[in-house]
Amino acid sequence: MGFLVLVVRIMGRISTFRSYQFLLLLAATFAVIAFYYFGSERHSFSSTTKRIRQTQQRGEELNVGEESDISRSRKGSSEAGGQRYHALMMFTKVDRSVSLQDKFRVAMLSMVKLAHFLEGEVLVLHFVSDQVSQELGQRMLQEFLQDAPFKYEVSIIFHDVVELTQKLFPIVEAMQKHFSAGSGAYYSESIFFLSVAMHHIMPESLTRIVQLDLDLKYKTNIRDLFQEFDKFPPGAVIGIAREMQPVYRHTFWLYRKENPNTRVGEPPPEGLPGFNSGVMLLDLSAMRASTLYNQLLKPSNVAKLADQYRFKGHLGDQDFFSMIGMEHPELFYSLACGWNRQLCTWWRDHGYGDVFQLYYGCDGPVYIYHGNCNSPIPDD
């Protein structure tokens, strides 16, 4: 109403002005109207085909989480109703760690630099975060996306870590004692079993999602990773790459001692080296539909398998997937090692130097580097 009062006052004085003064006054009036109506709605950037918007609102698309729609898009793409590609990252306690911030910078800048999507397609990035880290993440993403060369749309959704943990705890409580390092340890928190029960937490409208660690560097278009879903064999619910160190040769040591001819913990291609959860494709629809997978989530069955394999781990969801993969490999689609080229060599210097290279080797192109255990990632 404020600008209307201003207009009335101005128009009341029109008769006292000459014609050229009237035109100037009229132009000023329209400028005021434009400011009130459009000034706060969006910011225009140099390119007419790209824009970046930031809002705070409840996520309507998934009815879950808080959406911070920081997008950079080709004009009209969001109205096209094209396919959405969902990817999720853990983003907790990042405000306390410069190292995590640096890793996130490398991951996001390499992702947006090489990504390319078709007209109307949308990349939806989900972040599980605490409030302080969310505020930091929004600032960092604004910086990363503003100067990005792409023309597709990116939608950002933040999920509150406390709310998700409350939903997860009843489902994963029983397995935490088998796959956690102990009270207070990083992976002992329920949220780090999110991938195990994602199909119960996310709405049914979300059918596929990729979960990614922060310490990655992308060497190819991330859209290509989503195409791996189409390669899942019948019965597979999760796509995941093998572990590239003798981690599970060590963790299954007692079972291996009791079963000297087992493939469990043996190196590829004939062995079962376990999985690494740095890059995971979760077919949520298949997870919901799989009777076998959901039976394996029951506390009694988790305890039975852990006892059978003499298993005690500390790596959260990765341990769970590796253990059930020994018994039911048909639940998993094996991603090529180049989609999660792990760089950690810790076990080479801690008792397994003689067999280390049997696990660490990875032939073929590298699509994603994984700088696990703070390993340096090669420069471009």
CB-based burial label for 267 (10 Å; 0-12, 13-18, 19+): buried
Mean pLDDT estimate for the chain: 83
Q: Please name the residue that has the structure tokens 């060497």.
A: 219
Give Cα 244 to chain centroid, integer Å.
Answer: 21
- What per-residue confidence (pLDDT) applies to 177? 87
- pLDDT at residue 331 greater than cutoff 60: yes
Average pLDDT over every residue of 291-312: 96
- pLDDT at residue 127 greater than cutoff 50: yes
Q: What's the sign of the alpha-carbon dihedral 267, 239, 221, 105?
A: negative
- What per-residue confidence (pLDDT) applies to 57? 32
**Phi, psi (deg, nearest 5) at residue 281:** -105, 115
- Cα angle, residue 136 at apex, residues 218 and 142 outer, rounded to 5°: 60
Sheet bearing 208-212, strands edge to edge = 57-58, 66-68, 153-160, 122-129, 84-91, 208-212, 275-283, 238-242, 332-334
Q: Which residues on adjacent β-strands are paired with residue 211? A: 88, 280
Span of 138-147, 184-193, 250-259 with lowest mean pLDDT: 184-193
- Binning pLDDT at 50, 70 and 90, where does residue 27 land? very low
Domain 84-370 is found in CATH 3.40.50.720 = no
Tell me the domain boundaries of the chain.
84-370
DSSP class of 264: B
| CA nearest neighbour of 213 among 237, 190, 187 | 187
The two tokens of residue 152 are 């597709």
DSSP-derived pairing of the beta strands 84-91 and 122-129:
parallel
Q: 201-240, pLDDT tens digit by residue?
A: 999 999 999 999 999 999 999 999 999 999 999 999 999 9
- What per-residue confidence (pLDDT) applies to 153? 86
Element counts in the chain: helices (H) and strands (E): 14, 14
| Share of residues in the chain with pLDDT > 90 (%) | 69
Where residue 149 falls (left for φ over 0; alpha for ψ -120 to 50; beta otherwise) is: alpha
Q: 48-79, pLDDT tens digit by residue?
A: 223 323 333 333 344 456 666 565 554 334 44
- pLDDT at residue 21 greater than cutoff 70: no
Average pLDDT over every residue of 94-102: 97
In terms of pTM, does the model score above 0.85? no
